């Protein structure tokens, strides 16, 4: 379970102040998949940066399973929180092979045990994980990640992010850089991975159809505040056109 208590973020460049988040309160129970929408400057990326420790909030607290992590470093949160970015290049080490990337991901939270030697049983495990999604990646384990397409890299990143089940998965517009056909495929794989492992997930999206179709709950941020929080039948009754109208109002 993740809980945000009165999270605020003020940026001050010495000339002007900009309050990006205003007393955000949010509780997400274990296993819930929450989609977050909002216009540019609404505070979505700032919220993610605060959750995964890239940025400390001006005020407020962050709890995961009842433990306050608000002043815990980004590196210390890596064992608990996985993040998939919009740019497919951010999730992999391009000069390492698929197998080497997966070996690193499989060691998340167990850094003292990290070994560069990849054993036969590791290869078999990696092949099994990749084969589930029918993209042929299991036959490319010795290929450098830099040689993969954007869609292949994003699927690899998703698999790596969930190999060691995180307490929280952050999906930061992770299909925005992909063409519609590949984006649809990546969203299908996302849904499968999240549901299979019951992973608590927050997903930022600018795709209104995806925001409605995926997840258990939908939030809208506007000027640093949560202005909509719907789930269940109420969420299911929404249409993309209605969400666009809310953006423009």
pLDDT tens readout for residues 103-117: 988 877 665 444 556
C-alpha distances in Å from residue 45, one per residue of 4, 52, 180: 15, 11, 23
- Tell me what pLDDT residue 65 has: 92
Mean pLDDT of 177-206: 93
**Cβ of 113: how many Cβ atoms within 10 Å?**
7
Of residues 141 and 135, the one with the higher pLDDT is 141
- Tell me what pLDDT residue 110 has: 61
Q: Are 213 and 11 in contact (CB under 8 A)?
A: no
Q: What is the pTM of this model?
A: 0.92
Confidence label for 37 from pLDDT (cuts 50, 70 and 90): very high
Mean pLDDT of 73-97: 89
Confidence label for 188 from pLDDT (cuts 50, 70 and 90): very high
Residues 64 and 3: their CA atoms lie apart, in Å, by 7
Average pLDDT, the chain: 90
β pairing state of 67-68 and 217-222: unpaired
Residue 31 has pLDDT above 90, yes or no: yes
- Residue closest to 163 by CA, chosen among 193, 192, 141, 121: 193
- Tell me what pLDDT residue 116 has: 55
Q: Where are the domains of the chain?
A: 2-248
- Tell me what pLDDT residue 148 has: 92
**Distance from first CA to last CA of the chain, Å, rounded?**
33
CATH architecture of 2-248: 3-Layer(aba) Sandwich (3.40)
Residue 16 has pLDDT above 90, yes or no: no
């Amino acid at each position: 379970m993740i809980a945000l208590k009165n999270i605020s973020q003020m940026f001050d460049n010495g000339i002007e102040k900009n309050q990006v988040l205003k007393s955000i309160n949010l509780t997400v129970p274990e296993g819930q998949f929450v989609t977050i929408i909002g216009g540019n400057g609404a505070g979505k990326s700032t919220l993610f940066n605060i959750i995964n420790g890239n940025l400390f909030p001006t005020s407020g607290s962050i709890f995961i399973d009842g433990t306050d992590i608000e002043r815990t470093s980004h590196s210390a949160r890596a064992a608990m929180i996985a993040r998939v970015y919009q740019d497919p290049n951010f999730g992999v080490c391009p000069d390492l092979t698929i197998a080497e990337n997966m070996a690193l991901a499989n060691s998340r939270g167990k850094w003292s045990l990290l070994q560069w030697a990849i054993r036969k049983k590791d290869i078999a495990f990696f092949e099994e994980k990749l084969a589930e999604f029918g993209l042929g990646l299991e036959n490319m384990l010795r290929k450098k990640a830099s040689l993969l397409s954007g869609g292949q890299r994003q699927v690899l990143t998703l698999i790596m992010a969930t190999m060691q089940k995180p307490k929280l998965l952050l999906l930061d517009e992770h299909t925005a850089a992909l063409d519609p056909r590949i984006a649809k495929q990546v969203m299908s794989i996302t849904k499968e991975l999240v549901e299979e492992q019951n992973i608590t997930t927050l997903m930022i999206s600018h795709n209104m159809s995806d925001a409605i179709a995926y997840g258990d709950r939908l939030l809208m941020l506007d000027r640093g505040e949560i202005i909509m929080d719907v789930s269940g039948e109420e969420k299911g009754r929404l249409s993309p056109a209605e969400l666009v109208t809310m953006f423009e109002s």
